[in-house]
């Protein structure tokens, strides 16, 4: 069965960017505004924002509020996937939803960001002040004409909401996630960022020479790895698995004889390695195969790391996790299945 993605949203929210991305994935594109443009061309009239709005209202008033959607539906073929843009009246959305094939997505962004995007495109006829921009927003959202633009009612019919507040990469990832929820055909095959970095941390842990457990941490800034570390004896000291650590080699019970352990922990080594190479980790994220111990927790707090993501619970994790949260550090557990 074909898939229809319907797009709605405020001016300059990024609907066109989403539509272009879906076209690259094999979707065929239609805009309800194309029906209005065809009418204006046939009448020999200039195409402008005001003319499009006025003509669209006239068509809805004369032929029913769902006319643009109905004419577009007539053009659709059963064996294709479509993305349909410029859904601005609830009757249009309901007509498309009645096909049983459409998922309506509300693409949005803060007004300030949308206004900056509008200014950068330098289109003739766009409002020049933020106040004028917000006024147009309000008129389109709260339209009282049954046959006009009534965006707030359309937004309420959307099954999905996509926030376009960052870069294209994050917007595309959000759309991939939505497509994966709609159809297995579009389910992303690659891991998300949390899975990606946690799996790397697990590979780093395989380098550990500790006899007790293999633990590793990966420090990430702007989705780039800046430092890694795994647990083991300090540089120049005999490896743990070669007899370098008396505690590990005596197979002490977890939580006991910690004063005899000479191994450095994964998070500790990752932080120290960053310092050794002169790399700032302020505001970074650390991915660790275990939640941090108390010593590593204090190092994480004082190093300026802002987020801790861990896979499994460390045996003595209650106090460290409490301290991290008290320090305002985001703590998340992301379980990654064993290979």
State residue 249's pLDDT score: 61
Q: What is the mean pLDDT of residues 187-196?
A: 82
Which residue from 11, 9, 31, 10 is spatially nearest to 20, judged by alpha carbons?
31
DSSP state of 12: T
pLDDT bracket for residue 159 (50, 70, 90): very high
pLDDT of residue 188: 61
Cα separation of 205 and 217, whole Å?
Answer: 8
Whether residue 339 has pLDDT greater than 50: no
Catalytic residue among 267, 318, 326, 337: 267
Are the C-beta atoms of 105 and 87 separated by less than 8 Å? no
* Mean pLDDT, rounded, of the chain: 88
Per-residue tokens: 197? 């970095």
Active site residue 267: yes
Residue 157 pLDDT grade (very low, low, confident, very high; cuts 50, 70, 90): very high
Question: What's the pLDDT score for residue 253?
Answer: 58
Q: Quick one: pLDDT band at residue 330, thresholds 50, 70, 90? A: very high
Helix or strand (DSSP H, E) at 246: helix 246-249
How confident is the model over 291-309, as pLDDT tens digits? 999 999 999 999 999 999 9
* Interstrand relation of 82-85 and 4-9 (parallel, antiparallel or unpaired): parallel
| pLDDT value of residue 56 | 85
More confident residue, 317 or 116: 116
* pLDDT in the model for residue 255: 56
Give the bridge partners for 160, in sequence order.
105
336 pLDDT tier (thresholds 50, 70, 90): confident
């Amino acid at each position: 069965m074909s898939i229809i993605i319907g797009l709605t949203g405020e001016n300059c929210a990024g609907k066109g960017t989403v539509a272009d991305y879906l076209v690259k994935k094999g979707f065929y594109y239609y805009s309800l505004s194309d029906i209005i443009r065809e009418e204006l061309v046939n009448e020999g009239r200039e195409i402008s924002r005001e003319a499009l709005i006025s003509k669209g209202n006239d068509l809805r008033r004369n032929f029913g509020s769902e006319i643009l959607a109905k004419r577009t539906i007539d053009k659709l073929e059963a064996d294709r996937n479509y993305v349909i843009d410029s859904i601005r009246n609830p009757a249009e959305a309901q007509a498309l939803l009645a096909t049983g094939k459409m998922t309506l997505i509300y693409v949005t962004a803060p007004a300030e960001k949308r206004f900056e995007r509008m200014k950068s495109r330098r289109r003739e006829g766009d409002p020049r002040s933020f106040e004028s921009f917000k006024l147009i927003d309000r008129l389109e959202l709260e339209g009282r004409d049954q046959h006009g633009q009534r965006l707030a009612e359309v937004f309420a019919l959307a099954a999905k909401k996509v926030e376009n507040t960052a870069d294209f990469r994050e917007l595309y990832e959000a759309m991939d996630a939505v497509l994966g929820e709609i159809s297995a055909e579009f389910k992303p095959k690659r891991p998300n960022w949390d899975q990606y970095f946690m799996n790397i941390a697990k590979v780093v842990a395989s380098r550990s020479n500790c006899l007790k457990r293999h633990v590793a941490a990966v420090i990430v800034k702007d989705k780039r790895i800046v430092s890694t570390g795994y647990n083991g004896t300090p540089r120049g000291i005999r490896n743990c698995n070669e007899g370098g650590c008396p505690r590990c080699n005596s197979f002490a019970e977890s939580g006991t004889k910690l004063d005899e352990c000479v191994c450095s922990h994964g998070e500790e080594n990752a932080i120290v390695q960053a310092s050794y190479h002169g790399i700032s980790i302020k505001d970074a994220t650390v991915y660790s195969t275990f939640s941090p111990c108390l010593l590593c927790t204090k190092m994480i707090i004082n190093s300026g790391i802002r987020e801790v993501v861990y896979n499994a619970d460390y045996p003595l994790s209650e106090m460290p996790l409490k301290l991290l949260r008290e320090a305002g550090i985001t703590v998340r557990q992301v379980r990654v299945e064993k290979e």
